[in-house]
Amino acid sequence: MIGWTVRRLTQSMLVILLMTLVVFIGLNAIGNPMDILVGEDLNQAERLQAIAHLGLDKPLWQQYLLFLQGAIHGNLGQSFVYHEDAMRLILQRLPATFELAFSALFLAVVIGVPLGMFAGTYPDHPLSRLMMASSIVGFSLPAFWVALMMIMLFSIKLGWLPASGRGATRELLGVQWSWLTLDGLQHLLLPALNLALFKISLVLRLTRAGVREVLPQEFVKFARAKGLSPMRVMCMHVMRNTMIPVVTVLAMELGSTIAYAVVTESIFSWPGAGKLILDSINTLDRPVVVAYLMVVVVIFVVLNLIVDGLYYLLDPRVRVEASR
Amino acid sequence: MNAVSKTVRLQAQSPWRRVAVEFMSSPTAVIGLLVLLIIVLIAVLAPWIVVQNPYDLMQLNVLDARLAPGSANMDTGYTYWLGTDGQGRDLVSAIMYGLRISLWVGIGSALIAAVIGTLLGLVSAYVGGWLDALLMRLVDLLLSFPVILMALMILAWLGKGVGNVMLTLILLEWAYYARTARGQALTESRREYVDAARGQGIGPWRIVVGHILPNCLPPLIVIGALQIARAITLEATLSFLGLGVPVTEPSLGLLIANGFQYMLSNEYWISLFPGLALLITIVAINLVGDRLRDVLNPRLQR
């Protein structure tokens, strides 16, 4: 276990290090890093001072070390637009993004698992066929367009749900959350559902495949033969054995959900990190872009680590392979 | 010639013929293919069938902006069947031109990525050693991050534009082909026919390109079909976010984005119809891709 942990941790650190290198090269390869990091509205003396201050007169490898040092301390420069610490700006917006992403995953499970169980139990039922067909459409639908259609239907035509912003928030653990108020929940529903659409299709298909694989097995027959009620067989025996792939896939999908929140947030004006990064790309606010990329890379690597750890704990086969 | 056709008949069918016959046995896949062919035809012929060039500002009349579907043109009297957008573009023409961009970006980037990825994958499999390890770690790294994040990252450095979107797609997509080509090539290179070719004294490059590559094609074709759909979606998404095509030459994604602001005043058609065109295109490609996967996957063959 210790050997495995150490090896995976080292690998993760290497990936993060590699990404800092990529981001740093990107910073230097395109345009003058001076313009990127300092801005253009300075006079000559200020520029020289800033160059010395940022260490831009030093050789590249030393600059990289300085950049790395800053990154470790969470100091990736000031936003040109907000004149605030770029890292702090991202971290302030991150809870809203997490709220959206987790709500989407929650919806995916709550909607996708029951539908998938039904489709797996009755594969020839017309409803199951309809579900499978619509899940192909669910994979094909461009999420941003669906978002607009949702706004048009539920906000403009029917007037049921608000189309932008977070609504009223309430503080919990020092952070403002939307899901604690009714108004906030109303604001959360459409963007979360939009972000969840693809995952619902995914969970539905995974659950269906799992149920179809588990149902013919001996222990299910045995449970039935014992006289357990069909409901109990489904919930206790079948579901438990189909949930492992669903849970691990969802854990891996959390990262991409956070990334795709960029689109959803920009449409629903959800004030999360994704909307901030998009605005920053459009205003060439590079320190914020760099900070966002570094934060998301770290989130990703940590998520992968957790998923691998879960696999290690849950699946004995991985353990055998790792100990070799 | 006669002898050749006889051997073909003796072997019942050539493999590609079998694939074609099996493909046609699914009505949904055939419909998907037909729809796709029509879309491609529309896109290719667009300049000759549209009533106006949507990218030529001289042909646009601002007075005709945001007309509802079915309205008539003020001057010439032809009907805007799907309405007009905020600049007075006929939406039918704009969608046809948008399809051109979508298909060009999707198919173009998928093809280039396929060539680069397949080559690198074959080289990786054939050379092995540190090059193989390096390339495959790079592939792992690329594939472990979501596409949209990588695309934002690359576009943040390269700047906006269709060319850069294509470059981004190529930079991201080659990894899928490389991984598949490498895996497939490794299995194929252990087969007897490769040994036989070697025994005949055929050079390594001719073995790779002439013997191994053709046998790696089926899974690569499947990936190619699905990647085209993904590329089209991604281009639309990036254009929607304002990182793709210029405002004067809207693709489907940008048309939808432009329609967003008018939706609040109930002018739904500017966003609705380009989105439907996009959806139909992607569903058609996915139907064809799904069927190809079923037909070409050796594990599922009876």
- pLDDT tens for B156-185 read 777 777 888 888 889 888 998 998 888 888
Q: Min CA distance, A295 vs chain B (Å)? A: 12
- Average pLDDT (B191-219) is 82
Tokens encoding A136:
């192909």
Cβ–Cβ contact B280 with A under 8 A? no
Cβ–Cβ contact B283 with A under 8 A? yes
Give the pLDDT score at B113: 92
Cβ–Cβ contact A198 with B under 8 A? no
Q: Which range is least confidently modeled, A271-275, B88-92, B196-200?
A: B88-92
Phi, psi dihedrals of residue B249, rounded to the nearest 5°: -125, 70
Q: Rounded to whole angstroms, how far apart are CA atoms B260 and A147? A: 10
Number of Cβ pairs < 8 A linking chain A and chain B: 99
Give the pLDDT score at A65: 78
CA nearest B202: which of B191, B215, B193? Answer: B193
Interface subset of A 18-37, CB within 8 angstroms of B: 18, 23, 26, 29-30
Nearest by CB to A156, from B241, B253, B264: name it. Answer: B264
- B79: helix, strand or coil: strand
CA nearest A140: which of B290, B169, B23? Answer: B290
User: What is the dihedral sign for C-alpha B258, B96, B173, B19?
Assistant: positive
Give the pLDDT score at B80: 67
Task: For residue A268, give the chain B residue with the closest CA.
Answer: B260
Q: Using one digit for the tens of pLDDT, what is the confidence trace for B118-127?
A: 999 988 888 8
Cβ–Cβ contact B265 with A under 8 A? no
Nearest by CB to A148, from B149, B156, B271: name it. Answer: B271
- Number of neighbours of residue B94 by Cβ within 10 angstroms: 30
| pLDDT reading at B302 higher than 50 | no
- Residue A307 is which amino acid? V
Give the pLDDT score at B1: 44
Give the pLDDT score at A57: 64
Max Cα separation, chain B? Answer: 76
* Each residue's pLDDT expressed in tens, for chain A with a length of 324 residues: 677 778 878 888 888 888 777 777 766 655 555 555 555 566 677 777 766 666 566 667 777 777 777 777 777 766 767 777 878 888 888 888 888 898 999 998 898 888 888 888 887 888 888 888 788 777 778 888 888 888 888 877 777 777 777 766 666 676 677 666 667 777 788 888 888 888 888 888 888 888 887 777 788 778 778 877 777 777 777 777 777 778 777 877 887 888 888 888 888 888 888 888 888 777 777 778 878 888 888 888 888 788 777 777 766 666 666 554
Residues 6+ apart with CB under 8 A from B169: B105, B109, B110, B113, B151, B231, B234, B235
Q: Rounded to whole angstroms, how far apart are CA atoms A311 and B111? A: 36
Task: For residue A279, give the chain B residue with the closest CA.
Answer: B241
Cβ–Cβ contact B229 with A under 8 A? yes
Cβ–Cβ contact A156 with B under 8 A? yes
| pLDDT reading at B8 higher than 50 | no
- Average pLDDT (B117-144) is 84
Q: Rounded to whole angstroms, how far apart are CA atoms B298 and A231? A: 38
- Number of neighbours of residue A31 by Cβ within 10 angstroms: 13
**B289, B280 in Cβ contact below 8 A?**
no
User: What is the residue whose two structure tokens read 């809203």?
Assistant: A96
Nearest by CB to A266, from B157, B236, B241: name it. Answer: B241
Tokens encoding B73:
């043109």
Q: Rounded to whole angstroms, how far apart are CA atoms B235 and B162? A: 8
Beta bridge mates, A78: A85
Give the pLDDT score at B300: 45
Residues 6+ apart with CB under 8 A from B48: none
Give the pLDDT score at B10: 47
Burial of B281 (0-12, 13-18, 19+ CB in 10 A): buried
Q: Min CA distance, A166 vs chain B (Å)? A: 19
Give the pLDDT score at B116: 93
**B155, B168 in Cβ contact below 8 A?**
yes
Q: Using one digit for the tens of pLDDT, what is the confidence trace for B208-245?
A: 888 888 888 888 888 888 888 888 888 888 888 888 77
CB contact under 8 A, B279 and A156: no
Tokens encoding A202:
């995914």
Tokens encoding B299:
């594990």
- Higher confidence at residue B196 or residue A174? B196
Q: Which residues of A touch B286 (CB under 8 A)?
A: 136, 139-140
Beta bridge mates, B84: B90
Question: Which pLDDT band, with edges at 50, 70 and 90, does B66 fall under?
Answer: low
- DSSP 8-state secondary structure symbol assigned to residue A178: S
- Higher confidence at residue A138 or residue B7? A138
| pLDDT reading at B301 higher than 50 | no
- Number of neighbours of residue B256 by Cβ within 10 angstroms: 29
Q: Min CA distance, A46 vs chain B (Å)? A: 26
Nearest by CB to A156, from B253, B266, B278: name it. Answer: B266
- DSSP 8-state secondary structure symbol assigned to residue B84: B
Give the pLDDT score at A223: 78
User: What is the residue whose two structure tokens read 């094609």?
Assistant: B217
CA B167 to chain centre: 14
For an interface test with B, the pick among A15, A18, A144, A285 (most B C-beta atoms closer than 10 Å) comes out as A144
Q: Rounded to whole angstroms, how far apart are CA atoms B94 and B67? A: 14
Task: For residue B155, give the chain A residue with the closest CA.
Answer: A281
Residues 6+ apart with CB under 8 A from A136: A201, B283, B286, B287, B290
| Residue-by-residue DSSP string for A39-93 | -S---HHHHHHHHHHHTTTS-HHHHHHHHHHHHHTT---B-TTT-SBHHHHHHHH
Nearest by CB to B260, from A142, A143, A148: name it. Answer: A148
Q: Using one digit for the tens of pLDDT, what is the confidence trace for A181-231?
A: 667 777 788 888 888 888 888 888 888 888 887 777 788 778 778 877 777
Q: Which residues of B touch A151 (CB under 8 A)?
A: 263
Q: Which range is least confidently modeled, B2-11, B31-40, B261-270, B286-295?
A: B2-11
- Average pLDDT (B84-108) is 82
